[in-house]
Amino acid sequence: MPTVGFIYPDHAAEDDYPFAERLLGPGFSLPVEHIYGTDLHAVPELLDLGSEQRLAEGAALLAEHEPDAVVWACTSGSFVYRWDGAHEQVDKLAAAAGKPASSTSFAFVRAAEKLGLKRVAVAASYPEDVAKLFVEFLGQGGVEIVSMTSEGIDTAAEVGRLSPEAVVDLAVSHDHPDADAVLIPDTAMRTLGVLTTIEARLGKPVLTANQVTVWEGLRLTGEIPGSTELGELFRCH
């Protein structure tokens, strides 16, 4: 059974992971362990949240699950380190876990590559200065951003309280006609239950943080199952 361990910051939308596990079926295990810091979407706090020490703590908590791979399930706590720093971050996490490792930020880049996406719209929940760092990161990964919108939400807890209807509205209202897909980058947002609804409304792929994080972890194990309920990213398998 492929087992992917996820290090999740604080509490917000971590129930997306057991939900994904149920959708994927009994052949997959997606345990989640938590690390704690401030949930403020601000650069200094995010740098602390994604620090080597905190992620090593998360890796130690995951050890009892004997994961085949480990993923830092936090977009802002990875892209805030910029491209080279985020590579160093996952290298250190892999060393601490003794397993292949990645992060949500790299998951977005690799998922976009898998789907052949060249031009995307970003619908971010973050304040604008943080959202711009995500756009910069995507650009470093070869993804062109045709539009970026920022909801200016200060904390992950607030994002986690968004209703399913609000999440759908955020995605649909921030599409762009020139975009191949819409990207929604916050793991604090519950998106897996509304992915098919959003894609049906837009008529194009949608990549969300928890979706790509699960996909990236499975990619590291070499076993990605097809699913009709987790968006085009999983349907293409």
Q: How confident is the model at residue 37 (pLDDT cuts 50, 70, 90)?
A: confident
Hey, where are the domains in the chain? 4-106+210-227, 113-208
For residues 161 and 115, give the distance between their C-alpha atoms in angstroms, rounded to a whole number.
30
Highest mean predicted confidence (pLDDT) among 30-44, 142-156, 193-207:
193-207
Average pLDDT estimate for 129-158: 93
**pLDDT bucket at 237, cuts 50 / 70 / 90:** confident
Write the pLDDT tens digit of every residue in 157-185.
889 899 999 999 999 999 999 999 999 99
CA atoms within 13 A on the CB side of 68: 15
* Pair of tokens at residue 220: 């590291």
Overall fold of domain 113-208: Rossmann fold (3.40.50)
Rg for the chain (alpha carbons), in Å?
16
Please determine, for residue 123, whether its predicted confidence score (pLDDT) is greater than 90.
Answer: yes
> What DSSP letter does each residue of 144-200 carry, written as one string?
EEEEEEE----BHHHHHT--HHHHHHHHHHT--TT-SEEEE--TTS--GGGHHHHHH
CATH number of 4-106+210-227: 3.40.50.12500
Asked if residue 175 lies in contact with residue 200, where contact means CB atoms within 8 angstroms, the answer is no
| Average pLDDT over every residue of 203-222 | 98
